[in-house]
Structure 1
Amino acid sequence: MELVADGLGVRAGDVWLLREVDLHVRPGECLVLTGPNGSGKSTFLRVVYGMQEPAEGIVTVGGASPDERDRSFRRRVSALLDDSDFFAEFTPVQHLELLGTSFGADLDVDALLEDAALADRADVTAGSLSAGQRRRLLLLGVTARPFDVLLLDEPERALDVAGKGWLTDVIARATGNGAVVVLATHHPPLLDAADHVLELGAPEPAR
């Protein structure tokens, strides 16, 4: 699947968050969104996921308009956005077993938890995990399942140094498997994974 934006513009009230955005991200490539808070990074991800309509221009994912309400679209596009959550009463093992069942995927649960440094917390309820461990579990939830496009909103949040290193490896594996990865980040080392960088500035008043 390819991600294409042509003259994309998004307004919030009387200001433009995004304007005249043109890009083409191919399978196996990573697009990194940078810029201060409020510059439109999360908004861009919401548009790509079909949760928000642009005011002008177009964006397509796999040649079609994105629509997170469409089941086939959701099966191909995996997203960790700012409102993503987990089942607090489920253990990491239960989360991954449910994920595998939902997507018809044969997941090696033990290997996934070991890779994410959650093996020793495998049978602890998610609500009892630390903030960093919960973040790793959320990231596992969107990267262990099959996908062609991966959207990540500040995925480094709450991760320690080791966790950020693991995240970098996860992103590299995703692009290595041919996925399009789009991530908004304030973590400079993640720029090393970028094939494209979209630097966003302060919102502009609409005229």
Structure 2
Amino acid sequence: MTAIQVRGLRKSYHGVAAVDGVDLDIRQGEVFALLGPNGAGKTTTVEILEGHRRRDDGQVSVLGADPGSAGRAWRARIGIVLQTANDAAELTVRESVRHFAGYYPAPADADEVIEQVGLTAKAGTRVKALSGGQRRRLDVALGVVGRPELVFLDEPTTGFDPEARRQFWDLIRGLAAGGTTILLTTHYLDEAEALADRVAVIAGGRIVAEGTPSTLGGRSTAKATVSWIGPEGRQTMLTDTPTALIAELSQGRELPELTVTRPSLEDTYLELIGEKR
């Protein structure tokens, strides 16, 4: 059951390829993170999937339809949470959600959505008086009030403090648990690792790696770094068999400050995009 299928997607601007043959498969009900540096083709790809930008070539199916020609019924099945949004700042939270609900044929109850995103206490507050984190929660409320099957989240926690980010993560997990497919773009690697079932890295207009956060780019099979304090100071060794190495090194003695690490998602990501710079 595929929510998004892309084959050979291409888009150029003034003869320069922004998206150069992208293939993607996103399953229904999964959280999929699309990662990449600025200028890699991430935004263009997502805008094509949303139906907001025309492609030059390739096949694209989103919820079984071509977003380039799909109509209003299809648009009612998707939700979009932009990185920045302009709205009527004088409206209250409840007024905003009810207003957006009117765009959809079978919207959710506005007060239930407000409760779902944790804004019940702010339902009567004007939008201009909300904090940054509360504003993003409202953005999600506006994006899901139409009961979408698929939600696009563009850099949802930019500018959040750590506590607000983790509260927002709980909100996203709740949407995913309800069966909503989520396509997430983010520059925060810990966010992708915490939320995504699968991730893809785009660089130079192409997908350079795809997999689960734990296996992306061969993370799960990469050599481990074993480090400890020896007679001559900090010692470090790379190995495919860290348990055997530790047993050999210890020989019944302690290895002070022993650590065993494999490449982090950030390490892997930076190596992947570095290959395309």
In structure 2, relative to structure 1, the CA distance for the partners of 1:83 and 1:95 (3 Å cut) is same
Alignment of 1:125-204 (within 5 A): 125-192=126-193, 193-202=195-204
**Normalised TM-score (structure 1):** 0.85
Q: Specify whether residues 180 and 128 from structure 1 end up closer, same or farther in structure 2 by C-alpha distance, changes over 3 A only.
A: same
Alignment deviations for residues 134-185 of structure 1 (CA, whole Å, 9 cap, x no partner): 2221122113430011111111123332332232223222332222211110
Q: 1:22 is aligned with what amino acid?
A: D
Superposition pairs of residues 45-194 of structure 1, within 5 angstroms: 45-67=46-68, 70-82=71-83, 84-103=85-104, 104-107=106-109, 109=111, 112-113=113-114, 116-192=117-193, 193-194=195-196
Q: CA deviation at 1:76?
A: 0.1
Relative distance call for 1:62 and 1:180 in structure 2 (3 A) is same
Determine what percentage of the aligned residue pairs are the same residue: 28
Letter of the 1:31 counterpart: F
Specify the SS of the correspondent of 2:203. coil
Q: Distance in 1 between matches of 2:64 and 2:97?
A: 31
* 1:52-106 CA-partner distances (Å, limit 9, x unpaired): 1122212111222014872111110111234533321111121223344443434
Confirm or deny: 8 A CA contact 1:47 1:54 kept in the other structure.
Answer: yes
Contact conserved, 1:85 with 1:138, CA < 8 A, in 2? no
Native 8 Å contact 2:117 2:171 kept in 1? no
Structure 1 residues 169 and 14: alpha-carbon distance in aligned structure 2, compared to 1, 3 A threshold: same
Structure 1 residue runs without a partner (length 5+): none
Q: What residue in structure 1 maps to residue 29 of structure 2?
A: 28
Q: Match for 1:46: what amino acid?
A: E
Cα deviations by residue, 1:14-39 (Å, 9 ceiling, x for unpaired): 32222221121111112211111222
Rounded Cα–Cα distance in structure 2 between residues aligned with 1:60 and 1:125? 39
Q: Which residue of 2 aligns with 1:2?
A: 3
- Distance change (3 Å), C-alpha of 1:117 and 1:63: closer
Give the TM-score, by structure 2 length.
0.65
Asked if 2 retains the 8 angstrom alpha-carbon contact of 1:49 and 1:68, the reply is no
CA–CA distance in structure 2, aligned partners of residues 176 and 148 of structure 1: 12
CA distance in 2, matches of 1:163, 1:115: 16
Q: Check whether the contact 1:68–1:74 (CA below 8 A) recurs between aligned residues.
A: no
Cα 1:131–1:171 change in 2 (3 A) is: closer
* Residues 119-139 of structure 1: per-residue CA shift (max 9 Å, x gap): 443322112323332222112
Greater CA radius of gyration, 1 or 2? 2
Name the SS of the counterpart of 2:88 in structure 1: coil
- Quote the Cα distance in structure 2 between the aligned partners of 1:21 and 1:141: 30
Gaps of 5+ in 2: 207-277
Residue identity in the other structure for 1:169 = D
Contact residue 91 and residue 127 of structure 2 kept, 8 A:
yes
Contact 2:108 2:145 (C-alpha < 8 Å) held by counterparts: no
